[in-house]
Amino acid sequence: MTLECPFCAPDRGRVVASNTLAFAIRDGYPVSPGHTLAIPHRHVESFFGLSPQEEAALFELIREQKQVLDGEFAPHGFNIGINDGQAAGRTVAHVHVHLIPRYRGDVADPRGGIRWVLHETARYWME
């Protein structure tokens, strides 16, 4: 636990679900309605530092929250992602899994999905 880490001591009012090893909150800066984060209770910077039990706990919450978001927002799809390390765009050094609901028409052409993190190689279907 670090004092600077916003995920080590979250506002309990923001927690939408939890289990023994992880919790879920709605993202404070959502990219779409319902954008949710699954976060381990233990402060771990990298996904690769998680125990198998912590990994399972995170993805249990992702599955549960997918069902909640289906009922609340009726999205047409989801992106699930982890920014592991600063070079990958991580801004909070406490591993967290993004569950991002997607909606028809939210972007002009959604093909490529998460591949767009590297714009130059995203349109593999055009080559």
Which residues are designated catalytic?
A: 96
DSSP 17-64: EE-SSEEEEE-SS-SSTT-EEEEESS--SSGGGS-HHHHHHHHHHHHH
CB 75 within 8 A of CB 51: no
CA proximity to 65, closest of 53, 82, 55, 78: 78
Residue 49 CB partners (closer than 8 Å, separation 6+): 95
